[in-house]
Structure 1
């Protein structure tokens, strides 16, 4: 299995980051993660974050940036990513008011335009799914199918979230294979096997994480990104369990730490 590095989505550690952003990043490095995906930068400037990342040996993988900011302040977003040394920008979510035919058409237009500008700057725009994009729309397709089919695959790529695909009744591996070379980022999450379908530490639930990992090299995955939206343990305890599991499946991790 090839060396596809592993990052953490900092949303998992949002409360810890709010209290002590620098200290939280230091703990992420101590756990053994190779990179981070940002959802804000705490009370630090992007230059201060970059200095800290360099000190800790962490790579800035990507940042989640809302559609409004992408549309209205893209140049600053691009400059921030270049300062951080990040290659990817991710649109993470669309509000309920946009989840209709007109709204999705508008989103698709924005994504294609933003993605083209990012591409010119040497960056890649990705779209991150939840389960609602897999709901059947009145005109016969899902929103995620529309986004993939109606945007240029060089302008808009994917950050597939395996938990939300599974929750929508889909097979994550099939989605990764179907869109190979368009899925540079994968959110690794697990799901409890009971009716609640709660967020679970990797290797403890019903998502076939091992099969997902096995698809990575052929599909062109550049980063695995661990995220746990909510945890019944502390976030760091959950991340430690997930990373311990990944070390049994990804040999390069066990060699690093």
Structure 2
């Protein structure tokens, strides 16, 4: 699993909670279960997987989205989750795994109890030939479907930048993937950073979007915990419910204090 999968602004390296809006905006999430993407607390998880899961649970989270299994087998990781009282309905699978061991990686997601297997990142050198990527996603989607899983693609900002031919990669993927095989995990921050309203995206393509990453954007474009920035998450989550989104995950790509970040997000989400 590749962990170096985020296209980060240089300013994010020291962001954390600094620069958050003066007045938080409690969201009162309509989703009964709120998850956290473990990438946010990746350093803590690498050092102490079980302790990290317990701390996530204690903050009030119900679910996690995986990036690794903390050095144990998928089956053993599932047992750890059960002991702590968490579930992992979705897992990020690195591009190398999709390309070289897709079936084994999908079997691992089944063993963990996931329903979604997510491709979360394309390196800079691979960001072309979007129709070919759509074809690959259809193939991986079929492998996932045969195991009772659903393939999901997670965006950053580059999917919303038009190519030299005038095509928007996000639209190319939507138009050339089979809706029965390929779904999308909308990252609200990166969509907004690229200049697109996540509410509009959900309203236009909600039937294809089954999961959300929740992280806010400050006026200067940097990341913030949910409810601390400019994104209207009340409207986002309302559109998500109407569109049939199943899972939502709090995330911050590079906070100075990961625990403070996800604690603030869930506090605001629970109103």
Tell me the SS of whatever aligns to 2:255. coil
CA distance in 1, matches of 2:85, 2:254: 27
Name the CA shift for 1:163/1:2 in 2 (closer, same or farther; >3 Å): closer
**2:54 matched residue in structure 1:** 26
8 Å CA contact 1:7, 1:61 repeated in 2? no
For residues 60-104 of structure 1, what are the alpha-carbon distances to aligned partners after superposition, in whole Å with 9 as ceiling and x for unaligned?
12111122311321121121111111100000011111112x3x2
CA distance in 2, matches of 1:72, 1:43: 20
Shift, 1:105, TM fit: 2.9
CA distance in 2, matches of 1:3, 1:190: 17
Shift, 1:120, TM fit: 1.9
8 Å CA contact 1:4, 1:223 repeated in 2? no
TM-score, with length taken from structure 2: 0.86
Q: Which runs of 5+ in 2 are unaligned?
A: 1-28
Match status 1:168 vs 2:191: no
8 Å CA contact 2:131, 2:176 repeated in 1? no
**1:177 matched residue in structure 2:** 203
**1:63 matched residue in structure 2:** 91
**2:235 matched residue in structure 1:** 211
Shift, 1:216, TM fit: 2.0
Q: Residues 110-189 of structure 1: matches in 2 within 5 Å?
A: 110-189=136-215
Greater share of helix = 1
CA distance in 1, matches of 2:122, 2:250: 21
Q: Which runs of 5+ in 1 are unaligned?
A: 249-257
Shift, 1:229, TM fit: 0.6
Name the CA shift for 1:212/1:188 in 2 (closer, same or farther; >3 Å): same
**2:259 matched residue in structure 1:** 236
8 Å CA contact 1:71, 1:110 repeated in 2? no
Tell me the SS of whatever aligns to 1:12. helix
Of 205, 218, 224 in structure 2, the residue corresponding to residue 192 of structure 1 is 218
Higher relative contact order (CA 8 A, sep 6+): 2
Shift, 1:3, TM fit: 3.9
Tell me the SS of whatever aligns to 2:267. helix
8 Å CA contact 2:70, 2:77 repeated in 1? no
**RMSD of Structure 2 on Structure 1 (CA):** 1.3
CA distance in 1, matches of 2:168, 2:154: 15
TM-score, with length taken from structure 1: 0.91
Shift, 1:2, TM fit: 4.9
